[in-house]
Structure 1
Amino acid sequence: MSLSQLGHDVVYYALALPDPEPVAPPGFEAVSTILGWAKWVGLIAAVLALIFVAVLFMFNSRRGEGGEHIKTFVSILIGVMIIGAATALVGFISGA
């Protein structure tokens, strides 16, 4: 075995940290319930916002100003996607 390989093995095994599975602490069920409610409320608010923007499109299209709210519409759609994918995004970022 070469000296560089021996040095690599020593560093590798000295820095090898355990990677345990994530486990929720006792009593965490209440937090999960609150997060579920927050996601539900966020999606309801997003649906209401989409309906509001659709009504604005309808009224402003008669005046020729319908295209001004497209930025708002797209930002609401992005928000809906983030709310819907929040759990998967956090899992991806944290590496879980």
Structure 2
Amino acid sequence: MTVSLAAAHVLNTAGQLLTALPDPEPLAPPGFEAVSTILAWAKWVGLIAAILSLIAVAVMFMFNSRRGEGGEHVKTFVSILVGVMIIGAATALVGFISGS
């Protein structure tokens, strides 16, 4: 038996053993309902802050468009929108990254 054939056999056997391992779904321990409530409140506060930020950027657009400087706040507007997307998709992003 050659070394490469032996290595392939070992890797094949290890792969079969690893696929047989259990992969349980994540489950919060009892008494952690408060953590879910805190996370829900944090998401709510983050989205309220994003709404207020979008209103502030719209007001800056309005005042600066009269002076011909309206396009300077587009970067701020896009940054706020990216933040809103991250806040809204936080749970899905963490689940995707962790593989659950």
Say whether the fold is shared (TM-score over 0.5): yes
Question: Which sections of structure 2, spanning at least 5 residues, go unmatched?
Answer: none
How far does the alpha carbon of each residue in 1:21-47 deviate from its partner, in whole angstroms, 9 at most, with x for none? 211111111000000000000000000
Of 45, 49, 67, the residue aligned with 1:41 is 45
1:7 matched to 2:15: no
Return the alpha-carbon distance in structure 1 between the equivalents of residues 74 and 29 of structure 2.
Answer: 44
- For 1:32-82, what per-residue CA distance to the aligned partner results, in whole angstroms no more than 9, with x for missing partners? 000000000000000000000000000000000001100000000000011
Normalised TM-score (structure 2): 0.84
Q: CA RMSD in A?
A: 1.8
CA distance in 2, matches of 1:35, 1:54: 29
Report the alpha carbon displacement of residue 9 of structure 1 after superposing the two structures with TM.
4.4
> Residues of 2 paired with 1:46 and 1:60: CA distance?
21
Identity of aligned residues (%): 76
Unaligned ranges ≥5, structure 1:
none
Where do 1:35-74 residues align within 5 Å? 35-74=39-78
* Rounded Cα–Cα distance in structure 2 between residues aligned with 1:21 and 1:43: 29
Q: Which residue of 2 is the match for residue 87 of structure 1?
A: 91
Q: Does 1:26 align with 2:30?
A: yes
